[in-house]
Amino acid sequence: EFCRKFCEPKAVEEDVGGVTMVDDGYSPDHEFDYDLVVIGGGSGGLAASKEAVKQGATKVAVLDFVKPSPKGSTWGLGGTCVNVGCIPKKMMHNAAIIKETIEADSAAFGLSTGESKATHSWENMRTNVQNHIKGLNFKYRVNLRENSVTYLNKLGTFKDQHTLTVVDKKGRASEITAARFLVAVGGRSTTLDC
- Residues ≥6 apart with Cβ < 8 Å to 117: 103
CB atoms within 10 A of CB 125: 16
Can you give the pLDDT at residue 68?
83
User: Region 174-185: what's the mean pLDDT?
Assistant: 95
pTM equals 0.79
Can you give the pLDDT at residue 184?
94
Please write the tens of the pLDDT for every residue from 58-76.
999 999 998 888 888 888 8
Q: Cα separation of 36 and 32, whole Å?
A: 9
Q: Nearest 5°: CA angle at 77, between 71 and 78?
A: 95
- Residues ≥6 apart with Cβ < 8 Å to 1: none
Question: What is the percent of the chain where pLDDT is above 70?
Answer: 88
DSSP line for 25-59:
---TT--SSEEEEEE--SHHHHHHHHHHHHTT-SS
The answer to whether 100 touches 77, Cβ cutoff 8 Å, is no
Can you give the pLDDT at residue 107?
84
